[in-house]
């Protein structure tokens, strides 16, 4: 999995042969700054972008292959033992609006299969969109499979570049949707002003003060008012969007504090509106490392338990990568992988395309 944060590649060796899936080995490969900037440049139309897209797809595939090979070496597992690689690819455009309805994840899956000699399952989102869905989020089906409780109303909150929630109410249908920015705005603002890719533990945000007028202005965006199903990416939540809301007189650390509170309220407000009776909130994704963010979430939801998914058996850093291993298994077994109630598709569908070894 390589997500909207553009920090790198998460790889999980997953054993799905038992009732309780387990992770055998994990590995992270960071993106270098040059690769990150090239991927970011594809967010907007530019010179010779078709050529650049194809070249970057091959470059990413070589990086994915290297990561998989290194992971297997560390685990002492041969490639013949692996049934398939579930590869999400790198999202560079996500436009689920009905008049557009497309999503682009970069990967040369045939090349990845060739380099690893392992079958690859890729292109998970297209079939859901072909059936009228948003193509996202897809992980709620996995959350339901591994995290559901028969007695407690749990919510899984993934805080990556974008924040999304999965409501696992034992008495009602599964609900899941993107609820707003996760780390995406904080990371971009942090890089611009202090030269760091992210605000470690939220320390820089902690040095600032929330700007109430700015926060209120940010929350007026139509995205927060839309009803699920809904999904979003860098197409909306980016520095250009933020700059339109600024007066220019704000202290950078105060803007960072406000962006952190925006993420908190995007999550807390969504939970209050769509799953007010939830009792347990489990966090996954990179946002789980932002201790200030977690503290603020606990303050915003004092009546709920807030913890990391580590308590449920899968560490917060590895849930999404694990999910795409599970989705690949669903494809291989010809089982559905989306949830139409989550994505808005006309029905549940078998996702992905298989590239044999």
Render 32-57 in DSSP notation, one character per residue.
PHHHHHHHHHTTS--TTHHHHHHHHH
Residue 1 lies in a domain: no
Count of other CB atoms within 10 angstroms of residue 55: 14
Residue 159 sits in the same domain as residue 259: yes
Task: Tell me what pLDDT residue 88 has.
Answer: 96
Domain with 230, as residue range(s), is 140-316
Q: How many domains are contained in the chain? A: 2
Residue 123 sits in the same domain as residue 238: no
- Among 236, 204, 202, 191, which Cα is nearest to 218's? 236
Q: How confident is the model at residue 357 (pLDDT cuts 50, 70, 90)?
A: very high
**pLDDT tens across 224-242, in order?**
999 999 998 888 999 999 9
Residue 148 sits in the same domain as residue 167: yes
Residue 3 lies in a domain: no
Residue 32 sits in the same domain as residue 159: no
- For residue 62 the two structure tokens come to 């070589």
Distance CA 296, CA 288 (A): 12
- Among 165, 169, 173, which Cα is nearest to 151's? 169
**pLDDT tens across 245-302, in order?**
999 999 999 999 999 999 999 999 999 999 999 999 999 999 999 999 999 999 999 9
| Average pLDDT score, the chain | 95
How, if at all, do strands 120-122 and 102-106 pair? unpaired
Residue 204 sits in the same domain as residue 280: yes
What is the share, in percent, of the chain residues with pLDDT greater than 90?
92
Residue 209 lies in a domain: yes
Residue 30 sits in the same domain as residue 59: yes
Residue 327 sits in the same domain as residue 237: no
Beta-bridge partner residues of 176: 166
pLDDT at residue 98 is higher than 80: no
Distance CA 106, CA 53 (A): 7
Q: Are residues 323 and 90 in contact, defined by beta-carbon separation less than 8 angstroms?
A: no
Residue 207 sits in the same domain as residue 299: yes
- For residue 184 the two structure tokens come to 């995406």
Residue 2 lies in a domain: no
Span 193-212, mean pLDDT? Answer: 97
Residue 39 lies in a domain: yes
Residue 324 sits in the same domain as residue 304: no
Residue 219 lies in a domain: yes
Residue 91 lies in a domain: yes
CA distances from 126 to 34, 52, 135 (A): 28, 22, 7
Residue 117 sits in the same domain as residue 15: yes
Span 130-138, mean pLDDT? Answer: 94
Residue 128 sits in the same domain as residue 230: no
Span 138-145, mean pLDDT? Answer: 96
CATH number of 296's domain = 3.30.420.40
Residue 304 sits in the same domain as residue 336: no
- For residue 30 the two structure tokens come to 């960071």
Task: Tell me what pLDDT residue 20 has.
Answer: 85
Distance CA 108, CA 103 (A): 15
Task: Tell me what pLDDT residue 5 has.
Answer: 85
Span 82-103, mean pLDDT? Answer: 90
Residue 54 lies in a domain: yes
Render 95-109 in DSSP notation, one character per residue.
E-STTT-EEEEE--H
Task: Tell me what pLDDT residue 233 has.
Answer: 85
List phi, psi (to 5°) of 238: -145, 175
Q: Are residues 233 and 4 in contact, defined by beta-carbon separation less than 8 angstroms?
A: yes
Q: How confident is the model at residue 44 (pLDDT cuts 50, 70, 90)?
A: confident
């Amino acid at each position: 999995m390589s997500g909207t944060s553009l920090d790198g590649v998460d790889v999980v060796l997953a054993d799905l042969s038992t009732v309780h899936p387990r992770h055998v080995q994990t590995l992270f490969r960071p993106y270098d700054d040059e690769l990150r900037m090239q991927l970011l440049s594809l967010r907007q139309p530019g010179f010779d972008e078709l050529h650049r897209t194809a070249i970057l797809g091959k470059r990413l595939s070589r990086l994915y292959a290297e990561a998989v090979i290194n992971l297997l070496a560390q685990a002492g597992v041969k490639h013949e033992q692996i049934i398939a690689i579930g590869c999400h690819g790198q999202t560079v455009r996500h436009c689920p609006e009905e008049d557009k309805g497309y999503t682009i994840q970069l990967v040369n899956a045939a090349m990845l299969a060739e380099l690893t000699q392992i079958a690859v399952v890729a292109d998970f989102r297209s079939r859901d969109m072909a059936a009228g869905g948003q193509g996202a989020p897809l992980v709620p089906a996995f959350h339901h499979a591994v995290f559901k409780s028969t007695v407690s109303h749990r919510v899984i909150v993934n805080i990556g570049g974008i924040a999304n929630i999965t409501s696992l109410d034992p008495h009602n249908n599964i609900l899941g949707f993107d609820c707003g920015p996760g780390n995406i705005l904080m990371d971009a603002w942090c890089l611009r002003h202090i030269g760091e890719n992210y605000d470690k533990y939220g320390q820089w945000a902690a040095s600032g003060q929330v700007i109430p007028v700015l926060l209120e202005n940010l929350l007026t965006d139509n995205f927060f008012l839309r009803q699920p199903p809904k999904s979003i990416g860098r197409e909306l939540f980016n520095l250009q969007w933020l700059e339109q809301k600024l007066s220019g007189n704000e202290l950078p650390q105060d803007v960072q504090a406000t962006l952190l509170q925006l993420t908190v309220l995007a999550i807390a407000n969504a939970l209050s509106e769509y799953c007010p009776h939830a009792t347990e909130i489990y966090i996954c994704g990179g946002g789980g490392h932002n201790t200030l963010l977690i503290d603020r979430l606990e303050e915003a939801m004092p009546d709920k338990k807030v913890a990391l998914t580590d308590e449920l058996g899968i560490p917060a850093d590895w849930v999404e990568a694990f999910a795409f291993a599970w989705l690949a298994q669903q494809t291989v077994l010809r089982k559905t992988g989306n949830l139409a109630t989550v994505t808005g598709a006309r029905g549940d569908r078998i996702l992905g395309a298989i590239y044999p070894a």
